[in-house]
Protein backbone atom coordinates (compact mmCIF):
# COMPACT_ATOMS: atom_id res chain seq x y z
CA UNK A 1 0.00 0.00 0.00
CA UNK A 2 0.94 3.64 -0.24
CA UNK A 3 -0.01 6.41 2.14
CA UNK A 4 -0.57 9.77 0.46
CA UNK A 5 -0.03 12.70 2.80
CA UNK A 6 -1.86 15.98 2.54
CA UNK A 7 -0.09 18.85 0.78
CA UNK A 8 2.46 20.53 3.05
CA UNK A 9 2.14 17.76 5.67
CA UNK A 10 4.16 18.38 8.81
CA UNK A 11 7.44 16.49 9.10
CA UNK A 12 6.39 15.32 12.56
CA UNK A 13 3.35 13.59 11.04
CA UNK A 14 5.47 11.87 8.41
CA UNK A 15 7.95 10.72 11.03
CA UNK A 16 5.19 9.37 13.28
CA UNK A 17 3.71 7.25 10.48
CA UNK A 18 7.13 5.98 9.44
CA UNK A 19 7.87 4.90 13.00
CA UNK A 20 4.47 3.20 13.32
CA UNK A 21 5.12 1.20 10.13
CA UNK A 22 8.63 0.16 11.15
CA UNK A 23 7.55 -0.72 14.69
CA UNK A 24 5.01 -3.06 13.09
CA UNK A 25 7.84 -4.95 11.38
CA UNK A 26 7.44 -3.47 7.89
CA UNK A 27 9.55 -1.16 5.76
CA UNK A 28 8.59 2.43 4.97
CA UNK A 29 9.90 4.14 1.84
CA UNK A 30 9.49 7.90 1.54
CA UNK A 31 9.05 9.79 -1.72
CA UNK A 32 8.98 13.48 -0.93
CA UNK A 33 7.87 15.80 -3.73
CA UNK A 34 7.72 19.58 -3.65
CA UNK A 35 4.21 19.51 -2.17
CA UNK A 36 3.11 15.95 -1.47
CA UNK A 37 4.88 13.12 0.36
CA UNK A 38 4.09 9.48 -0.38
CA UNK A 39 4.99 6.71 2.06
CA UNK A 40 5.29 3.26 0.54
CA UNK A 41 4.73 0.25 2.78
CA UNK A 42 6.59 -2.96 1.96
CA UNK A 43 5.90 -6.16 3.87
CA UNK A 44 2.97 -8.08 5.33
CA UNK A 45 0.23 -5.43 5.39
CA UNK A 46 -1.96 -7.61 7.62
CA UNK A 47 0.18 -6.39 10.52
CA UNK A 48 -1.12 -2.86 10.00
CA UNK A 49 -4.49 -1.39 10.83
CA UNK A 50 -5.80 0.75 7.98
CA UNK A 51 -8.13 2.47 10.45
CA UNK A 52 -5.14 3.43 12.62
CA UNK A 53 -3.19 4.74 9.64
CA UNK A 54 -5.99 6.91 8.30
CA UNK A 55 -6.40 8.44 11.75
CA UNK A 56 -2.87 9.85 11.76
CA UNK A 57 -2.64 13.60 11.34
CA UNK A 58 -2.06 14.87 7.76
CA UNK A 59 -2.95 11.56 6.07
CA UNK A 60 -4.95 12.22 2.89
CA UNK A 61 -5.70 8.69 1.66
CA UNK A 62 -4.45 5.12 1.50
CA UNK A 63 -4.05 3.43 -1.88
CA UNK A 64 -3.57 -0.35 -2.29
CA UNK A 65 -0.82 -1.53 -4.64
CA UNK A 66 -1.73 -4.78 -6.36
CA UNK A 67 1.46 -5.18 -8.44
CA UNK A 68 4.11 -7.50 -7.02
CA UNK A 69 6.87 -4.98 -7.68
CA UNK A 70 6.72 -2.17 -5.14
CA UNK A 71 9.97 -0.20 -5.02
CA UNK A 72 10.15 0.05 -8.81
CA UNK A 73 6.51 1.13 -8.98
CA UNK A 74 5.61 4.68 -10.03
CA UNK A 75 2.85 4.65 -7.41
CA UNK A 76 5.56 4.51 -4.74
CA UNK A 77 7.76 7.08 -6.47
CA UNK A 78 5.71 9.39 -8.74
CA UNK A 79 8.64 11.51 -9.91
CA UNK A 80 11.01 10.01 -12.51
CA UNK A 81 14.38 8.90 -11.20
CA UNK A 82 17.69 10.20 -12.53
CA UNK A 83 20.58 7.77 -12.18
CA UNK A 84 24.10 9.13 -11.89
CA UNK A 85 26.76 7.11 -13.69
CA UNK A 86 30.19 8.53 -12.93
CA UNK A 87 30.27 11.96 -14.63
CA UNK A 88 27.15 11.14 -16.69
CA UNK A 89 23.47 10.82 -15.80
CA UNK A 90 20.40 9.03 -17.18
CA UNK A 91 17.01 10.61 -16.63
CA UNK A 92 14.13 12.68 -18.00
CA UNK A 93 16.01 15.86 -18.86
CA UNK A 94 18.74 14.61 -21.18
CA UNK A 95 19.35 12.00 -23.87
CA UNK A 96 22.14 9.67 -22.80
CA UNK A 97 24.11 7.88 -25.50
CA UNK A 98 26.05 4.75 -24.53
CA UNK A 99 28.32 3.60 -27.33
CA UNK A 100 31.23 1.28 -27.91
CA UNK A 101 32.19 -2.21 -29.05
CA UNK A 102 30.28 -5.36 -28.17
CA UNK A 103 33.58 -6.82 -26.98
CA UNK A 104 36.79 -5.17 -25.83
CA UNK A 105 39.50 -6.62 -28.08
CA UNK A 106 42.67 -4.58 -27.56
CA UNK A 107 43.71 -1.48 -25.66
CA UNK A 108 44.35 0.42 -28.89
CA UNK A 109 40.98 -0.57 -30.35
CA UNK A 110 39.05 0.55 -27.29
CA UNK A 111 40.91 3.85 -26.97
CA UNK A 112 40.24 4.72 -30.61
CA UNK A 113 36.54 3.89 -30.25
CA UNK A 114 36.23 5.83 -26.98
CA UNK A 115 37.66 8.99 -28.55
CA UNK A 116 35.43 8.63 -31.61
CA UNK A 117 32.16 8.13 -29.72
CA UNK A 118 32.90 10.97 -27.32
CA UNK A 119 33.48 13.34 -30.24
CA UNK A 120 29.95 12.48 -31.44
CA UNK A 121 28.23 13.15 -28.12
CA UNK A 122 28.31 9.83 -26.25
CA UNK A 123 28.79 10.19 -22.50
CA UNK A 124 29.08 6.51 -21.52
CA UNK A 125 31.49 4.01 -23.05
CA UNK A 126 30.12 0.49 -23.34
CA UNK A 127 32.44 -2.46 -23.76
CA UNK A 128 32.13 -6.16 -23.09
CA UNK A 129 34.82 -7.82 -20.99
CA UNK A 130 32.69 -10.85 -20.13
CA UNK A 131 30.75 -12.24 -23.08
CA UNK A 132 28.03 -14.86 -22.49
CA UNK A 133 27.89 -16.32 -26.00
CA UNK A 134 25.47 -18.81 -27.49
CA UNK A 135 28.36 -20.99 -28.68
CA UNK A 136 31.09 -22.06 -26.23
CA UNK A 137 33.60 -21.68 -29.08
CA UNK A 138 32.89 -17.95 -29.62
CA UNK A 139 35.08 -15.23 -28.16
CA UNK A 140 34.29 -15.00 -24.43
CA UNK A 141 35.97 -11.68 -23.63
CA UNK A 142 39.21 -10.47 -22.05
CA UNK A 143 37.69 -10.39 -18.54
CA UNK A 144 39.71 -8.31 -16.03
CA UNK A 145 42.24 -7.27 -18.66
CA UNK A 146 39.37 -5.77 -20.65
CA UNK A 147 38.14 -3.96 -17.55
CA UNK A 148 41.55 -2.35 -17.12
CA UNK A 149 41.37 -1.11 -20.71
CA UNK A 150 37.94 0.38 -19.92
CA UNK A 151 39.38 2.24 -16.94
CA UNK A 152 42.27 3.59 -19.00
CA UNK A 153 39.91 4.78 -21.73
CA UNK A 154 37.76 6.53 -19.13
CA UNK A 155 40.77 8.34 -17.69
CA UNK A 156 41.86 9.45 -21.15
CA UNK A 157 38.45 10.64 -22.39
CA UNK A 158 36.40 11.49 -19.30
CA UNK A 159 33.64 9.10 -20.34
CA UNK A 160 31.69 7.04 -17.83
CA UNK A 161 31.94 3.28 -18.39
CA UNK A 162 29.64 0.25 -18.34
CA UNK A 163 30.40 -3.45 -18.65
CA UNK A 164 28.27 -6.59 -18.45
CA UNK A 165 28.82 -8.97 -15.53
CA UNK A 166 27.97 -12.65 -15.49
CA UNK A 167 29.02 -13.87 -12.06
CA UNK A 168 29.88 -12.86 -8.51
CA UNK A 169 33.56 -12.87 -9.47
CA UNK A 170 32.87 -10.59 -12.42
CA UNK A 171 31.04 -8.11 -10.15
CA UNK A 172 33.96 -8.10 -7.69
CA UNK A 173 36.31 -7.26 -10.54
CA UNK A 174 34.03 -4.73 -12.25
CA UNK A 175 33.54 -2.53 -9.18
CA UNK A 176 37.26 -1.75 -9.26
CA UNK A 177 37.22 -0.44 -12.82
CA UNK A 178 33.85 0.73 -14.20
CA UNK A 179 31.05 3.13 -13.24
CA UNK A 180 28.06 0.90 -14.04
CA UNK A 181 27.40 -2.82 -14.40
CA UNK A 182 25.03 -4.49 -16.83
CA UNK A 183 22.88 -7.56 -16.31
CA UNK A 184 22.35 -9.07 -19.75
CA UNK A 185 19.19 -10.56 -21.20
CA UNK A 186 20.26 -14.14 -20.48
CA UNK A 187 20.70 -13.30 -16.78
CA UNK A 188 17.60 -11.15 -16.24
CA UNK A 189 16.07 -13.79 -13.97
CA UNK A 190 19.32 -14.98 -12.41
CA UNK A 191 18.04 -13.90 -9.01
CA UNK A 192 21.26 -14.60 -7.13
CA UNK A 193 23.18 -12.40 -9.57
CA UNK A 194 20.51 -9.69 -9.30
CA UNK A 195 20.88 -9.61 -5.52
CA UNK A 196 24.67 -9.42 -5.80
CA UNK A 197 24.33 -6.58 -8.30
CA UNK A 198 22.09 -4.80 -5.82
CA UNK A 199 24.80 -5.08 -3.18
CA UNK A 200 27.60 -3.98 -5.51
CA UNK A 201 27.24 -0.25 -4.85
CA UNK A 202 27.25 0.53 -8.59
CA UNK A 203 24.33 1.61 -10.79
CA UNK A 204 22.85 -1.33 -12.70
CA UNK A 205 21.59 -1.53 -16.29
CA UNK A 206 19.05 -4.34 -16.49
CA UNK A 207 18.32 -5.69 -19.97
CA UNK A 208 15.00 -7.31 -20.76
CA UNK A 209 15.06 -11.10 -20.98
CA UNK A 210 14.64 -12.85 -24.32
CA UNK A 211 11.00 -13.75 -23.65
CA UNK A 212 10.25 -11.74 -20.52
CA UNK A 213 7.02 -9.89 -19.90
CA UNK A 214 7.19 -6.33 -18.63
CA UNK A 215 5.96 -7.46 -15.21
CA UNK A 216 8.70 -10.11 -14.98
CA UNK A 217 11.25 -7.48 -15.99
CA UNK A 218 10.07 -5.05 -13.32
CA UNK A 219 10.13 -7.78 -10.69
CA UNK A 220 13.74 -8.49 -11.69
CA UNK A 221 14.50 -4.81 -11.08
CA UNK A 222 12.79 -5.15 -7.71
CA UNK A 223 15.37 -7.76 -6.66
CA UNK A 224 18.14 -5.20 -7.21
CA UNK A 225 16.35 -2.31 -5.52
CA UNK A 226 15.33 -4.48 -2.55
CA UNK A 227 19.03 -4.93 -1.77
CA UNK A 228 19.29 -1.19 -1.15
CA UNK A 229 20.34 -0.08 -4.64
CA UNK A 230 17.79 2.32 -6.22
CA UNK A 231 20.03 3.14 -9.19
CA UNK A 232 18.54 0.83 -11.80
CA UNK A 233 18.10 1.59 -15.51
CA UNK A 234 15.96 -0.63 -17.75
CA UNK A 235 17.08 -1.49 -21.30
CA UNK A 236 14.72 -2.74 -24.00
CA UNK A 237 16.78 -4.83 -26.45
CA UNK A 238 14.18 -6.80 -28.32
CA UNK A 239 12.29 -9.98 -27.52
CA UNK A 240 12.14 -13.36 -29.21
CA UNK A 241 9.22 -13.82 -31.61
CA UNK A 242 8.52 -15.91 -34.71
CA UNK A 243 10.07 -13.22 -36.95
CA UNK A 244 13.49 -14.03 -38.44
CA UNK A 245 14.20 -10.91 -40.53
CA UNK A 246 15.91 -9.39 -37.49
CA UNK A 247 17.73 -10.98 -34.56
CA UNK A 248 14.94 -9.99 -32.17
CA UNK A 249 11.74 -7.94 -32.33
CA UNK A 250 12.25 -4.51 -30.79
CA UNK A 251 9.27 -3.78 -28.55
CA UNK A 252 9.12 0.02 -28.62
CA UNK A 253 5.68 -0.10 -26.99
CA UNK A 254 7.51 -1.17 -23.84
CA UNK A 255 8.89 2.36 -23.45
CA UNK A 256 5.57 4.19 -22.87
CA UNK A 257 4.23 1.23 -20.87
CA UNK A 258 7.23 1.39 -18.55
CA UNK A 259 6.97 5.17 -18.28
CA UNK A 260 3.45 4.65 -16.93
CA UNK A 261 4.36 1.87 -14.50
CA UNK A 262 7.81 2.73 -13.16
CA UNK A 263 9.91 5.72 -12.18
CA UNK A 264 13.11 4.05 -13.41
CA UNK A 265 14.89 5.39 -16.52
CA UNK A 266 14.41 3.43 -19.74
CA UNK A 267 16.88 3.16 -22.60
CA UNK A 268 16.75 1.25 -25.90
CA UNK A 269 19.38 -0.90 -27.59
CA UNK A 270 18.56 -1.01 -31.32
CA UNK A 271 21.83 -2.78 -32.13
CA UNK A 272 21.10 -6.03 -30.30
CA UNK A 273 17.44 -5.79 -31.18
CA UNK A 274 18.00 -5.95 -34.93
CA UNK A 275 21.43 -7.47 -35.41
CA UNK A 276 21.72 -5.39 -38.62
CA UNK A 277 23.50 -2.03 -38.71
CA UNK A 278 21.17 -0.65 -41.40
CA UNK A 279 18.20 -0.77 -39.04
CA UNK A 280 19.90 0.87 -36.07
CA UNK A 281 19.39 4.50 -37.15
CA UNK A 282 15.62 4.44 -37.83
CA UNK A 283 14.89 2.54 -34.64
CA UNK A 284 17.12 4.86 -32.60
CA UNK A 285 15.06 7.81 -33.85
CA UNK A 286 11.82 5.98 -33.07
CA UNK A 287 13.08 5.21 -29.56
CA UNK A 288 13.70 8.91 -28.91
CA UNK A 289 10.19 9.72 -30.16
CA UNK A 290 8.73 7.05 -27.86
CA UNK A 291 10.22 8.74 -24.80
CA UNK A 292 13.36 6.71 -24.15
CA UNK A 293 15.90 8.28 -21.80
CA UNK A 294 18.86 6.98 -23.74
CA UNK A 295 20.30 4.71 -26.39
CA UNK A 296 22.90 1.94 -26.34
CA UNK A 297 24.61 1.66 -29.73
CA UNK A 298 27.42 -0.62 -30.82
CA UNK A 299 30.29 1.12 -32.58
CA UNK A 300 33.45 -0.53 -33.94
CA UNK A 301 36.49 0.72 -35.82
CA UNK A 302 36.39 -2.30 -38.17
CA UNK A 303 33.02 -4.12 -37.99
CA UNK A 304 33.97 -6.62 -40.71
CA UNK A 305 36.67 -8.05 -38.43
CA UNK A 306 34.98 -7.58 -35.04
CA UNK A 307 35.29 -10.54 -32.68
CA UNK A 308 31.65 -10.12 -31.62
CA UNK A 309 28.52 -8.74 -33.33
CA UNK A 310 30.21 -6.99 -36.23
CA UNK A 311 27.11 -7.01 -38.49
CA UNK A 312 25.18 -4.76 -36.09
CA UNK A 313 28.02 -2.35 -35.31
CA UNK A 314 28.25 1.14 -36.78
CA UNK A 315 31.48 2.53 -38.16
CA UNK A 316 32.71 5.86 -36.82
CA UNK A 317 31.30 7.63 -39.86
CA UNK A 318 27.88 6.01 -39.53
CA UNK A 319 27.74 6.79 -35.82
CA UNK A 320 28.62 10.44 -36.43
CA UNK A 321 25.90 10.63 -39.08
CA UNK A 322 23.36 9.06 -36.72
CA UNK A 323 24.04 11.40 -33.81
CA UNK A 324 23.72 14.36 -36.14
CA UNK A 325 20.37 13.10 -37.42
CA UNK A 326 19.17 12.41 -33.86
CA UNK A 327 19.64 16.03 -32.72
CA UNK A 328 16.27 17.40 -33.98
CA UNK A 329 14.38 14.39 -32.57
CA UNK A 330 16.03 14.92 -29.19
CA UNK A 331 15.14 18.62 -29.31
CA UNK A 332 11.50 17.88 -30.12
CA UNK A 333 11.43 15.50 -27.16
CA UNK A 334 12.46 18.42 -24.94
CA UNK A 335 15.79 16.91 -23.95
CA UNK A 336 19.36 18.14 -23.99
CA UNK A 337 22.19 16.40 -25.83
CA UNK A 338 25.98 16.90 -25.76
pLDDT digits (tens, 9 = 90+) for 230-249: 999 999 999 999 999 999 99
In this prediction, residue 229 carries a pLDDT of: 97
Distances (CA, A) of 13 to 8, 18, 25, 50, 338: 11, 9, 19, 16, 43
Going by C-alpha positions, the residue among 297, 317, 313 that lies closest to residue 305 is: 313
In the chain, the percentage of residues whose pLDDT exceeds 90 is 80
The pLDDT tens digits for 48-58 are 888 888 999 99
Mean pLDDT of the residues in the chain? 93
Between 327 and 36, the more confident residue is 327
Pair 153, 188: CB distance under 8 Å: no
Q: Report residue 39's pLDDT band, with 50, 70 and 90 as the boundaries.
A: very high
Query: 97-124: per-residue pLDDT in tens?
Result: 999 999 999 999 999 999 999 999 999 9
Whether the Cβ atoms of residue 191 and residue 223 lie closer than 8 Å to each other: yes
Amino acid sequence: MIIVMKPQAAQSSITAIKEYIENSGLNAHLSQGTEVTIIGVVGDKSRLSTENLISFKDVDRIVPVTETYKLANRKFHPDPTTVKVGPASIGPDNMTIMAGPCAVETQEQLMAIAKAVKACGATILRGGAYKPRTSPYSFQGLEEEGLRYMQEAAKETGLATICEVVSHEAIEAAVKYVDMIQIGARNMQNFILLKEAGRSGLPVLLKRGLSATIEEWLNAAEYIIAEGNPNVVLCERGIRTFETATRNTLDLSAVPVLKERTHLPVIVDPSHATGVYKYVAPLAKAAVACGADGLMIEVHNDPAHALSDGPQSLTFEKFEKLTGELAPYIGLAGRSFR
